[in-house]
Amino acid sequence: MAKTITMPQLGESVVEGTVGTWLVSVGDHVNEGDPLVEIETDKANTEVPATGSGYILELLVQEGETVEVGTEILRMGDQKPGEQKSEKPKEKEAPQKEAAPAPTKEAREPAQEKPAAAASKNQNDAPPEAVMDGPRGGVPGGHTAATKSSPAIVSGGRRQQNNQPAAKQAQAPAAQKVDSDLPYGAPQGAKFFRTPPVKANPEDTVIKFSRRRAIISEHMVYSKAVSPHVPTMAEVDMTKVMQHRRANKDRLREQGTNLTVFSYILAATAKALREFPGLNAVVGDGEIIQRGGVHIGIAVETDGGLVVPVIRDADSLSVAGLADAVSELAEKARDKKITVDDLTGGTFTVSNPGREGNLIGFAVINQPQVGIVRMGEIVRRPVVRKYNGEEAIVIRDIMYLSLSYDHRIVDGALGNSFLYRIAQLLTEGNFDI
């Protein structure tokens, strides 16, 4: 008895998915719970398990194909596929028609009199990559515009009309021309700037964009285009944070909590977001929407690319609670068990690029949010401090903390005050475990 597996609903807001990698082949036997396929969405990659035992009869969707939720993607059965499957193509080929005679000159001539119809036929006959290059909906500046061709034939940079007088050629709007030499992700509309086409050499390695990489690329281009990014930076004295961590990390490790510096930065950011709701906001249609909850996204690097899971109500958690939340979400992301719901609803993002040589950096805003904080490397440095009214050179744990904010709704005074408050909280080091 055959049964089918459909594209699952991988989150409340997900309506489609892309078959990334089939983990089984036709003829394989699988048990309930065995992974069948890795599905890619715009949020995460998720393995779909078998709902029962059986043999793989047919893979109904190809790798790289995007289909809607509920679409049948695989067929399973109790018996190993045999001759029945090999006879299936014959059933489809049974009703054959005689080959139609070659059209006469008279039959071909009406098509020349209807250029619009000819253009429609050419469009329908185009290969799939001419219709959709990249993820569903195309990419900014991608090739989807190529499907909206006119009956004009582009040759040598000029438009030519078959059997049309020169007067009608001049009426073809220049705006219909599509420049295919723009780099990936570049917006259309450039009049003068052109870049040479990028082509691979024989010794090069070509890695095709995964769906997630294509989406990340689109997101970054969109974010930089729509949000006027303003960077600002603060030098933070992390000495008291480091002392606080050393005093508590061993005890918490025995309880299963990995107390990281990152959790302190999250705690300070969450508190500052409550005090500065203008950063805990999104830009609506001619309006500013300040979010009621403080839900902080954390950037996590995985084998499949960057994901940003969200810590809900981060301002209600202690430093240890935030550390546990980070560990749980990072583990789920790396084990490909993260859900789309884990990745949605963030109101602000904090980026932790790691401890190796990242002294200073500015991150790209995670749309539709209006700000992102990026921590740098902590380095012990000599600094000048006042003690009993006298200046002295002392060794302190110093970190540079940066903020990128959206200047559409965040002015300099607000952005600088927000970052100053985070730095102040970290410098004071008064945190609840």
Judge: domain 229-428, CATH 1.20.120.1750: no
Shortest CA distance to 384 belongs to which of 372, 392, 376? Answer: 392
Which pLDDT score is estimated for 187?
59
Peptide bond into 95 cis (omega under 30): no
Determine contact, residues 216/236, Cβ cutoff 8 Å: no
Report the catalytic residues: 407, 411
User: Looking up tokens 């904080």, which residue turns up?
Assistant: 373
Which pLDDT score is estimated for 185?
57
Which pLDDT score is estimated for 320?
97
Sheet strand arrangement including 66-68 = 45-49, 35-40, 16-22, 66-68
pTM of the model: 0.65
Tell me the C-alpha distance between 429 and 245, whole Å.
Answer: 10
User: Looking up tokens 């700037």, which residue turns up?
Assistant: 193
* Per-residue pLDDT in tens (0 to 9) along the chain, 433 residues: 778 899 887 765 578 888 989 999 999 999 998 999 988 876 677 888 888 899 999 999 999 898 998 999 999 998 888 755 444 444 444 445 444 444 444 444 444 444 444 444 444 443 333 333 333 333 333 333 333 333 333 333 334 444 444 444 444 444 444 445 555 556 566 667 777 788 999 999 999 888 778 888 888 999 999 999 999 999 999 999 999 999 999 999 999 999 999 999 999 999 999 999 999 999 989 999 999 999 999 988 887 778 899 999 999 999 999 999 999 999 998 888 888 889 889 999 999 987 676 888 999 999 999 999 999 999 999 999 998 999 999 999 999 999 999 999 999 999 999 999 999 999 999 999 8
Tell me the C-alpha distance between 279 and 290, whole Å.
Answer: 8
Tell me the C-alpha distance between 433 and 263, whole Å.
Answer: 11
DSSP alpha helices (H): ranges in 318-399? 319-334
Which pLDDT score is estimated for 80?
86
User: Looking up tokens 């300099």, which residue turns up?
Assistant: 412
Could you tell me which CATH number the domain at 3-82 has?
2.40.50.100
Determine contact, residues 60/97, Cβ cutoff 8 Å: no
Question: Token digits for 205?
Answer: 């390695």
Instruction: Give domain limits for the chain.
Output: 3-82, 229-428
How many residues in the chain?
Answer: 433
